[in-house]
Amino acid sequence: MVQERTLPMFQAASAQISAEEGLRLFEDMVLGRYFEDRCAEMYYRGKMFGFVHLYNGQEAVSSGVIKSLRPDDYVCSTYRDHVHALSAGVPARNVMAELFGKETGCSRGRGGSMHLFSSEHNFLGGFAFIGEGIPVALGAAFQSKYRRDALGQNDADQVAACFFGDGTTNNGQFFECLNMAALWKLPIIFVVENNKWAIGMAHERSTSQPEIYRKAGVFGIPGVEVDGMDVLAVHAAAQTAIARARAGEGPTLIECLTYRFRGHSLADPDEMRSKEEKQAWQARDPLSKFEAYLLEQKLAGEPELKAIKQKIQDTVDEAVKFAEESPDPSPDELHRYVFAEE
């Protein structure tokens, strides 16, 4: 069993949240979970093709970070990007249609599961190869700082949030971009979703420093470890990092200790991880944990949470119907979108 770290820096015990914000986070987490469950169903029914990487178990990270951002901030993802896009505000119907390869998808059916994109929502894309999105997010952060410092645009205080997995932190882009972000004090948050497994390689077997957040110290920037199964802990860490970035104090590296409940992709038989390990992490389900918290703290009642679940179920059902009824891209436009259009 992969060794689990204890006592992360940010825990929910010290987090304060209103009922309104709690329900907002809960609804977003339910959307992520229900959407991915339906994706699995559609994939096995032959409605989706290619590689599909689901996010089940990691919802607290997406909701905790992205729901702390403003709509004009930037989000950059990986190939496990469906839920990041949903949290960023991309409508479920357009994400689902993209997975079906339809013209009404957020990438016009050309991107599929790993290449979601929405300029309207400042969602800068999913990327098939690990580390690809980090320089893109760095560029978004650079233009914010350049517009503010060089062009004198005082309202250019947008922050970029970049998501990637533990395996990516052994790649060159990770170190190069941390160095540049620290050097220029760019408004960027590096979010490591450490789910313990880089496809089939256990994290502790592939890196000389398993505690990823400590790598930030080499570049003189804050590195924090957070319980990635606790949305309030992630939310608190993200708010601190965003405030620093927006104030011109530079980047933060947040390592979220989390776990994916499904295989690496829906084509993965998931035989590398032990049954005991999976059961131990599933007992810490972030959605169930947060639902219990809302009830215990009397921030919501069971009827209210049940209504949210039904609302999201209806949203996902409508998304599937929309995707099924949407047109395929026209063969006449095979070469469209290869180059930018005026």
Give the rounded percent of residues in the chain with a pLDDT score beyond 70. Answer: 96
Q: What is the mean pLDDT of residues 210-229?
A: 96
If pLDDT is split at 50, 70 and 90, which confidence band does 340 have?
confident
Domains of the chain from N-terminus onward: 16-326 (3.40.50.970)
pLDDT value, residue 337: 86
pLDDT at residue 4 tops 80: no
pLDDT at residue 111 tops 90: yes
pLDDT value, residue 13: 46
Q: What is the mean pLDDT of residues 123-143?
A: 97
pLDDT value, residue 11: 54
Q: How far is CA 157 from CA 64, 85, 95, in A?
A: 20, 22, 28
Mapped onto helix, strand or coil, the DSSP state of residue 252 is strand
- What single letter denotes the amino acid at residue 108? R
If pLDDT is split at 50, 70 and 90, which confidence band does 2 have?
very low
Helices and strands of the chain, counted as H and E runs = 10, 7
Average pLDDT, the chain: 94
Mapped onto helix, strand or coil, the DSSP state of residue 305 is helix
pLDDT value, residue 292: 97
Number of Cβ atoms within 10 Å of the Cβ of 23? 17
pLDDT at residue 204 tops 80: yes
